[in-house]
Amino acid sequence: MLVLLGWILVPTTDILSIAGPLVILIVYGVLSYIGAPKLDRLNPQILRTASLFGVLAGVIFVSEVLWEYIALPADNTRAGLIEFGSVFGLYFLSGLVVAYRTRQLRQGILTAISGAMLGSLIWLIAVLAVFYIFRGSPQQTQVFRAEGNYDDFARSGMSDFNSFIMEDFMGAGFFHLLLGPIVATILGTIGGLLGKGLAKLRRQLISL
């Protein structure tokens, strides 16, 4: 609904920009509908841990989005690095925790992916909702300056800023939803390998 609202607010937005995140959201919905019961049967720890770490990632995302509009920093680069560094750390830890408990690398990876999907959904809801609420406000103007949106618009060659910024947000939503689980797969694998290794080391120490 939030994605479609963007098209309603700015009808000149390229339809492909709207279709991108919608397609990913549909894929998320299908995977959740089919996959969640299977994960629960495989090991209830997967969904429980993924929910915890996914919500924590979402809290970080929401906090950073709101902080931009409250603090109005001149440059958001540092905050963005802290935000994504923290979230990536959570994906890594989720894979480590479940692999350590279950000694199954696959379950650690599935946990990280599931948590990333949840965190990405929370991010998309927050970023679009805040964008619409503050649309046209002085606070949003300051946020756009800090993020370099006006410079990007000048380089884009487009004549309509509203269309540009809406397409920019939709493009960000598409890539965030797409890349979140991919990054989580990599980090979950690394964390899972470490967790599985720690579990093996613990068994060996106990057996001594």
pLDDT at 175: 96
pLDDT digits (tens, 9 = 90+) for 95-144: 999 999 999 999 999 999 999 999 999 999 999 999 999 999 999 999 99
How many alpha carbons lie under 13 Å from residue 14 in its C-beta half-sphere?
14
Return the closest-CA partner of residue 94 out of 60, 47, 62, 59: 47
Return the closest-CA partner of residue 56 out of 107, 13, 90, 11: 90
| Overall pTM surpassing 0.85 (yes/no) | yes
pLDDT digits (tens, 9 = 90+) for 59-69: 999 999 999 99
Is the pLDDT assigned to residue 33 strictly greater than 80?
yes
Return the closest-CA partner of residue 180 out of 53, 69, 67: 53
pLDDT digits (tens, 9 = 90+) for 143-168: 999 888 999 999 999 999 999 999 99
- Three-state DSSP at 137 gives coil
pLDDT digits (tens, 9 = 90+) for 75-98: 888 888 999 999 999 999 999 999
What average pLDDT does the chain have? 94
pLDDT at 61: 96
- Three-state DSSP at 92 gives helix
Is the pLDDT assigned to residue 208 strictly greater than 80?
no
- What count of other Cβ atoms lies within 10 Å of the Cβ of residue 195? 27
How many alpha carbons lie under 13 Å from residue 200 in its C-beta half-sphere?
8
pLDDT band for position 197 (cuts 50, 70, 90): very high
Find the mean pLDDT for residues 165-191: 96
Is the pLDDT assigned to residue 207 strictly greater than 80?
no
| All residues at 6 or more sequence positions from 97 whose CB lies less than 8 Å from its CB, including other chains | 49, 108, 111, 191, 195
- Three-state DSSP at 1 gives coil
CA 199, CA 208: separation in Å to the nearest integer? Answer: 15
Percent of the chain with pLDDT over 70: 100
pLDDT at 202: 87
pLDDT at 77: 82
| All residues at 6 or more sequence positions from 142 whose CB lies less than 8 Å from its CB, including other chains | 72
Return the closest-CA partner of residue 84 out of 151, 145, 175, 18: 175
Is the pLDDT assigned to residue 44 strictly greater than 80?
yes
